[in-house]
Structure 1
Amino acid sequence: MRQVSAPLRWPTENGLNPRLFRRGLWWRKIGERFRMRRASYESFGPSHAPLKLLPLPVQPGRKTFELSPALNHILAEIQRELGYQSGQEEFRSNAELEHLIHTIAARLGFELSSYERDLVLNQIESESKPFGILQELVDDPRISDIIVSDWSKVTIQIGRRNFATDIRFASPESYQNFLERLMQRAGTSCSTRHPIADGMIGAHARIHAVHDSLCDTGPYLTIRLNRFPSVTVGDLEKSGLAPKEIFSYLGGLIEIGRTVLIVGEVGTGKTTLARALAGAIPGDESILVIEDTPEIRLQHAHVRYVTTREENADSAGRISPSQCIRAGMRMAMNRIIFGEMRDAEAAEAFIDVCASGHSGLSTIHARSTLEAVARLELFLGRAQKGASKIVLIEQIATAVQAIVQVDICKYSGKRRIMEIREIGPVADGVLRQREIFRYEYSAESKPQWRVQNKLSAHKAQLESLDKPVCLGAFPAVLSEG
C-alpha cells in the first residue's frame, strides 16, 4: 500500500460521517486521495493508524471468514445490485459476478486483489443457496436444529445436545438480510409489530424468529429440520424408534378408531410419529389436520388442512385452534389430527371433539404418560373453572384411549418409544390406567421393550382386524430390529 503524503482528516471526531458513509461518498473520498491495493481493514482508527488486511479465519481449513468493513460495504452494494433486498435475485455466472464485483469496487474507489475478490465471491455464492451459509448444516442428516443467536454465533443440536460451530455471517447486516429473505420464503415477517414469527419452508424446515427488540443480542433464529419428508412406520422401525410389534399395536389402535396422544419433550419426534401413525387411517375416511405451522402432510385421498392465524397489525383476524377444531365438527370429517395442544383453550376443544365421537391424534409436551394426564387435567381445569376433579378426569377417560411417550435414550442417543399406556374408565374417583409397553436399556444390556400387560381393553377389536393384533402372542421382551 502506498504511503499517504498528508494525513487524511476525518469529517467527525470518531472518524466517520454517517451521512457520507451511507451514501458511499466517504469511500470515494478515500479513493480520490490514494489508490488502495489492499482494501480490507481490520478496524477504522485515527488517520495516522496503519491499515491492515487480515481476514479472520475462524478455524484452520474452514472457508468461513469475517469480512472486513470495507469488503462488507462492497458486498452490501453487490447484494443490492442483485436484488437481495427484494428477494428477486437472479442467477449469475461466476464471470458475471466477478465483473460485477470489479465494477462496484471501482465505483466505490477500491482496487481489490484476487484474494479479496474471491472472499466476496465465496460469500455471494454461499448466500445464494436456499439456506445461505447454513446450507451445509441443513444438509447434515445428524442435525435436528440450527440455532442462531447473532451474526457471529451459530450452534446446532444433535440428539438434544448442543454444539458450537465455527460458522458466522459476514456482518450483522448480512445476517439481517439473510433473515428477512428466509422469513419471506416462509411466508411471514418478523418486526417490532410482530416480534415473534413462525413459518415453514417446504416440508422439512420450520422457522422460528424473535426480533432483536426482545433479545439481548439477536435477532434469534431457530430452524427445526424434519429429516423425514414422507415417513412410514417402516422407516421409524428401521431407525430404532420401536420394534414392529409395537407399531402393529399402535397402527391397530388408529385403524379401529381410537384416540392416541403422543407426548414427549422438545425435539423427540412427536410430530414425526404422528405422521407415520396417520398412515393407518383407512382410505375411505375423511381427515382434518389443524396446525399453527404446517408440518403434517399426509398421503391420503381425503385429507384437508386448516392453519391457525395470529392477529394482524390492527389486532384483528386471529383464528384460534379452538375455532378451527369446532369448525371441523361441521366439515364432515371422521378423524381430527391436531398438531399440538399448547394451552387450555386448545386442549378443551380437542378433548371435547374426541369425547363427542370423533377419533383424534395429537401431541403434547410432557416427560411421561402420567405427566401428560396431569397436564390435560390442568388445562381442562383452567378452561372449566369450578369443575370438580372427577368431571375433568371423566372427560379425559372418554376422549383419550392411549398415550405414547417418546424420548431420546440417554445411553444410545436414539429416539425411542419409552412407554405406552392405555387409559381406562373412571372407577371410585380414580382414572384407571394400564401400562402396555415399557422401554428398558442400560450400559450393560441391549435396548429392549418389555410387554407389561398382555390384556388390552381393545382386545376384541384389535384381534378382528384384517391383520389381527394379539398382545398375548407377543414375546415378553421385544428387541430392536
Structure 2
Amino acid sequence: MLDKALIEKLATKYGEYHPSDIELTDDSQDKKDYEMSSIPGLKESDYKKVRTFVQSELRRLLKPEEQRDSRNRAVRSTLRTVVARALIACDIPLGQDAAEKLIEELGNDCLGYGPIEPFFYDREVTEIICNKDEIRVEKHGILELVEGVKFRDEQHIRDVLDRMLAPTGRSISPHTPWAYATLFDGSRLITQIPPLSPEGTMFTIRRFRDDMTIENLLARKSINQFVADFLKAAVIAKQNIIVSGGTGSGKTTMLNCIASFVPPKESIITIENPCELQLQHPFVRKMEARPPTNEGKGEITQAQCIAFALRMRPDRIIVGECREEETLAMLQAMNTGHPGSMSTIHADSAYECVDRLYTLVSQYSTIPNEAIYNLLKTIDFIVQVVRERNGRRRLEHIVEVNGVTKDEKTGNTTLKLNTIIEYSKEKDDFVWVAKGFKRKQILIEDGGWIIK
C-alpha cells in the first residue's frame, strides 16, 4: 500500500506532487471505507453518518435516565424511529434484516455498553475482560476470546467506560487512572487507563449470577447436602466464618449462599468496596467504602464502615473481603458481641488463610504476636473454595479453629486447625475426616444440626 502522507512530504521537499498521479490500491480503498461485516450492505462511512444523526436525536428526545436504559421498550421504540429517519435523511437503503442489525448495534453503541452489551443479558457469562483490541468472556468457568467482536478504537472503549461509570458516581482521569464500581446489575467493574495502563484503556467486569442459591450449588456439585446442612447449622449457631479461596474460585457466591441461612429476624450490615453481595435476606443494610477524590478528600474506608456498623445495632456484620486494615476491625467485631459474622479472604488453603490474616493485622497495627493469634481464634470455621482447571467451582475443605498453640522447639505461636470436611477426588464427593469435633454440641443444640 502506498503511503500518501510520506509521498506528500517527499514531494514538498524534492518536487511537485499531484494526488491524481497516485493510484490507490484496492487494499487502501478498503481501509478507507470498508463494508461492516456485522451489517451487510453498510459502509463504515455511512454507519458513522447514521450514528451521528442517531446520537444527536436521542440526546434531544430522551431524558438522561432513559438514555441509560437501553432495553426499555419505549426507548427501543424511539431508537427504531430515529434510525429509520436517519436512513432516509442519509439516503442509505438497507434491507429489513440489515436494518434490524443496525438498530441493535446502534442501541448498544449509543445507549448501552457497545460490543459488550449483549453479555450483560447472558446469564451464563461470569466475567468480561476487555481492552480496545479484544474482548474475552468467561462462561462455565472457561475464559475465551470473542471472535469478530471488539471496540473500534481507544475513543470507543473510553466512551463505553464513561457510560458505565456515570451512574455509579465514580470517576477516572490521568490523575486517578483507576476505578472500582458496581454496575446496574450488581457486576463489579475494575478499570485502568493511561498512564497506569500504557497500552490503553482496559477493564474487567465480574458478574454475579442472581440464581446462585444453595440449591444451585448442590445441582452443580459445588457442595453436597451434608455440607449444606452443616453450614446451615453453623450459621444458625452464630459461628464466625471466613470463606477463603483463590481468584475466581467463587468466594462471593459461597458467602452469598451461606448468608442465606441467617434467620430472617436478624439484622445484617454488609460492608464492601465495591458492593457485590446480593443477600437473599429481608433485613440487610449496606455500606460501601469509597476511594478519595482527585483532591485526596472524601475517602471512606471499610474499617470506618465497621466502626459505624458497630453503633447501628446489627446482629451480624458481613465484610465482603478483608484486604487491608478492615481485617483487624472485623476480628475485633467478632470478638466484641457480634458472633456469626462473616467475610472472605484471598488465600489458597485454610493454613494460608491464617497466615494472610496474621500478616494483614500485623501490617496495620502494633499488636503483639500472641495478641493477634488470640484475635484470630475468634474465627470458628474457615470454608475453603477452589476453581478446577475445567472451570468447576467447589468446596475444597472446611476447617475448625481450635484455639492457639505454641511450638515448644521454635516458640512460634499459631492456630490449631482441625479439618472436618474435605473433597475426595476418588469419590468426587465431600467426606467427613475429623476424629473429633469441638463445636459438635453447639451445632446440635444451637444450630439444630442433625447428624445423618
Does residue 192 in structure 1 map to residue 174 in structure 2?
yes
- Structure 2 gap ranges (5+): 10-18, 68-74, 407-412
Could you say which residue in structure 2 is the equivalent of 1:24?
A: none
CA 1:88/1:257 → structure 2, altered by over 3 Å: closer, same or farther? closer
- How far off its partner does 1:455 sit? 3.0
Match of 1:49 in 2: 24
Q: Which amino acid aligns with 1:407?
A: V
- 1:257 alignment partner, SS class: coil
Q: Secondary structure at the match of 2:197?
A: coil
- 1:252 corresponds to which of 233, 247, 252: 233
Tell me the CA shift for residue 129 of structure 1: 6.4
How far the C-alpha of 1:178 sits from its partner, in A, is 1.9
Partner of 2:330: 350
Aligned CA distance change for structure 1 residues 75 and 462 (closer, same or farther; 3 Å): same
Query: Structure 1 295/122 Cα, relative in aligned 2: closer, same or farther at 3 Å?
Result: closer
1:271 aligns with 2:252: yes
Match of 1:383 in 2: 364
CA distance in 2, matches of 1:307, 1:56: 43
| Partner in structure 1 of residue 423 of structure 2 | 439
Cα distance in 1 for partners of 2:109, 2:335 equals: 50
Change (3 A) 1:222 1:101: farther
Aligned residue identity for 2:55:
Q
CA distance in 2, matches of 1:244, 1:165: 37
For 2:449, the equivalent position in structure 1 comes to: 468
Aligned to 1:298: 279
CA 1:176–1:67 in structure 2 vs 1: closer, same or farther (change >3 Å)?
Answer: farther
Q: Which residue of 1 aligns with 2:400?
A: 422
Shift of 1:47: 6.9
Per-residue CA deviation, residues 53-87 of structure 1 (Å, 9 max, x unaligned), is: 53264xxxx66999735643652453234229967
Question: Kindly tell me: are residues 138 and 45 of structure 1, through their superposed partners in 2, closer, same or farther at Cα, counting changes over 3 Å?
Answer: farther
Match of 2:347 among 366, 370, 373: 366
Q: In the alignment, which of 433, 436, 439 is matched to residue 458 of structure 1? A: 439
Q: Note if contact 1:268-1:406 (Cα within 8 Å) is conserved in structure 2.
A: yes
Does structure 1 residue 320 correspond to structure 2 residue 301?
yes
TM-superposed CA distance for 1:401, in Å, is: 0.8
The Cα of 1:366 is off from its aligned counterpart by 0.6
Q: Classify 1:188/1:73 alpha carbon distance in 2 versus 1 (closer, same or farther; 3 Å).
A: farther
Instruction: Give the equivalent residue in structure 2 for 1:400.
Output: 379
Q: 2:56 matched to 1:80?
A: yes
CA deviations 1:75-113 (Å, max 9, x no partner) are 24532342299676454253531222442x4xxxxx545
Counterpart contact for 1:142–1:158, Cα < 8 Å: yes
Q: Check the 8 A contact 1:232/1:277 in 2, yes or no.
A: no
The CA distance in 1 between the partners of 2:190 and 2:286, in whole Å, is 21
Identity rate of aligned residues, in percent? 22
- Residue equivalent to 1:284: 265
Query: Is the Cα–Cα contact under 8 Å of residues 290 and 306 in structure 1 kept in the other structure?
Result: yes
Distance 1:137 1:446, change over 3 A: farther
Task: Write the distance in 1 (CA, Å) between the matches of 2:318 and 2:92.
Answer: 57
Which range is displaced more, 262-271 or 200-209? 200-209
After TM superposition, list the pairs within 5 Å mapping 1:132-143 onto structure 2: 132-143=114-125
Instruction: Give the 3 Å change call, closer, same or farther, for CA 348–132 of structure 1 in structure 2.
Output: same
Question: Which amino acid in 1 is paired with 2:372?
Answer: L
> Taking structure 2 as the reference length, what is the TM-score of the superposition?
0.82
1:121-270 → structure 2 map (5 Å cutoff): 121-127=103-109, 130-150=112-132, 152-158=133-139, 160-166=141-147, 167-227=149-209, 229=210, 231-270=212-251
2:255 & 2:204 partners in 1: Cα distance?
22
Deviation at 1:371, TM superposition (A): 0.5
2:310 corresponding residue in structure 1? 329
Amino acid at match of 2:173: S
Matched residues, number: 414
Look up the SS of the partner of 2:417 in the other structure: strand
- Whole-angstrom distance in 2 between the partners of 1:238 and 1:148: 31
Q: State whether residues 236 and 447 of structure 2, in contact with CA within 8 Å, keep that contact through their aligned partners in structure 1.
A: no
C-alpha displacement at 1:140, in angstroms? Answer: 3.3
Hey, what's the Cα distance between the residues in 2 that align with 1:45 and 1:117?
Answer: 35
Aligned residue type for 1:426: V
Q: Report the CA distance shift for 1:307/1:446 in structure 2 as closer, same or farther (over 3 A).
A: same
Question: CA offsets, 1:234-284, max 9 Å, x none?
Answer: 232122110011111111111111100001112211111111111222233
Which residue number corresponds to residue 320 of structure 2? Answer: 339
When normalised by structure 1's length, the TM-score is 0.77
Assess, with a 3 A threshold, how the Cα gap between structure 1 residues 45 and 243 changes in structure 2: closer, same or farther. farther
Q: Secondary structure at the match of 2:420?
A: strand
Structure 1 runs not aligned, ≥5 long: 1-8, 15-43, 106-110, 474-481
Query: Do the aligned partners of residues 257 and 431 (structure 1) sit closer, same or farther apart at CA in structure 2, a change above 3 Å counting?
Result: same
SS in 2 for 1:316: coil
> 1:49 corresponds to which letter in structure 2?
L
SS at match of 2:260: helix
| Pair 384,172 (structure 1): closer, same or farther in 2 beyond 3 Å | closer
Residue 68 (structure 1) aligns with? 44
Shift of 1:341: 0.6
- Which residue matches 1:94? 80
